[in-house]
Amino acid sequence: MFTRRATLGALSALAIMATGSIAAAQDEPLYIPLISKGFQHQFWQAVKQGADQAAAEFGVEVTFEGPDNETMVDRQIDMLSAALSRNPSAIGFAALDSQAATPLLQQAQEAGIPVIAFDSGVDSDIPVTTASTDNVAAAALAADKMAEIIGDEGQVAVVAHDQTSRTGIDRVEGFVNRMAEAHPNIEVVTVQYGGGDHLQSTELTKSILAGNPELDGIFGANEGSAVGVVNGVREMGAENITIIGYDSGAQQKEAIRSGVMAGAITQNPVGIGYETVRAAVAAAKGETVEPAIDTGFFWYDATNIDSPEIAAVLYD
């Protein structure tokens, strides 16, 4: 039979245990999963590097995953759902489809889980911020560089990665609209989409070249697209084609050094990863986060590829 003192003692022990559990939970690091658009390109490895740097600096747990390629929207949605089921402190998301994830993002919002969009935003006001390149402005710069190199007249084409992500949409529109507005003597004869896949983009490039014998240049709108353009031009022996790329990576850098590619836009992928985690930590703590984080972009070619400023934002 319990005495009143024993009962009080048991209640006190339970209270101590509960308090200890709460303290332990509070001592656990913030958990922030990042769901990217892919994992195979060197660009995403550089984003992960920046995220890992921020995780170490802020003492938080960060995971980083993405589908095998950038056409696997359903697989990415499954990854997002699984990450949310683990009740993270905040979540980073680079959408393959700017609308498909909306129901899950609404669930995150209802659960009080801050969403940080990175690289590619979504058509929603749910993310507290987006850490990304100004892709419209960057692609417009690519158009200006193309126009300068080909003498401000002629025919060009675009090989892009998709029509569903904000990066795919913004880079195509930025390039095409800039040509129409500032370079009316240059015709964009076609825009083709290869899913950011090297092989598919190579075949698209070969078809474009075969169907447009007067073509002067091609813009590859991400790493996989640009590498595919380089390979397609090489396979067709079309040395007169001016290639402008986007992103970095070993193959693009080699193509620029060898003269096959005229130049490219590089983002700051390490900065994107770092700023995504930094913003997620702040949002998880209830701090104010700026509504957009511009991580910057640069033009690089054979003349500046080894300069300290450019070398710092290139990746292998």
Task: Give the pLDDT score at 27.
Answer: 66
Distance CA 150, CA 172 (A): 19
Superfamily of domain 135-266: Response regulator (3.40.50.2300)
Superfamily of domain 24-133+269-296: Response regulator (3.40.50.2300)
In CATH terms, are 24-133+269-296 and 135-266 the same topology?
A: yes
For the record, the structure tokens of 181 come out as 């507005």
Which DSSP string do the residues of 239-306 spell out, in sequence order?
TT-EEEEES--HHHHHHHHHTSS-EEEE--HHHHHHHHHHHHHHHHTT----SEEE---EEE-TTTTT
Q: List, in order, residues 6 or more apart from 193 with CB less than 8 Å away.
A: 159, 160, 161, 162, 163, 168, 204
Which residues of the chain register pLDDT less than 50? Answer: 1-25
CA dist 163 to 83, 130, 150, 245, 261, Å? Answer: 26, 19, 27, 18, 24
Asked if 187 contacts 153 with a C-beta cutoff of 8 angstroms, the reply is no
Q: Which of 153, 151, 149 is nearest to 141 (CA)?
A: 149
Q: Angle at which helices 223-236 and 198-211 pack, to 10 degrees? A: 50
- Sequence ranges of the domains in the chain: 24-133+269-296, 135-266
Task: Give the pLDDT score at 107.
Answer: 97
Task: Give the pLDDT score at 16.
Answer: 33
pLDDT digits (tens, 9 = 90+) for 110-129: 999 999 999 988 888 999 99
Task: Give the pLDDT score at 8.
Answer: 37
Beta strand 217-220 pairing with 242-246:
parallel
pLDDT digits (tens, 9 = 90+) for 147-190: 999 999 999 999 999 999 999 999 999 999 999 999 999 999 99
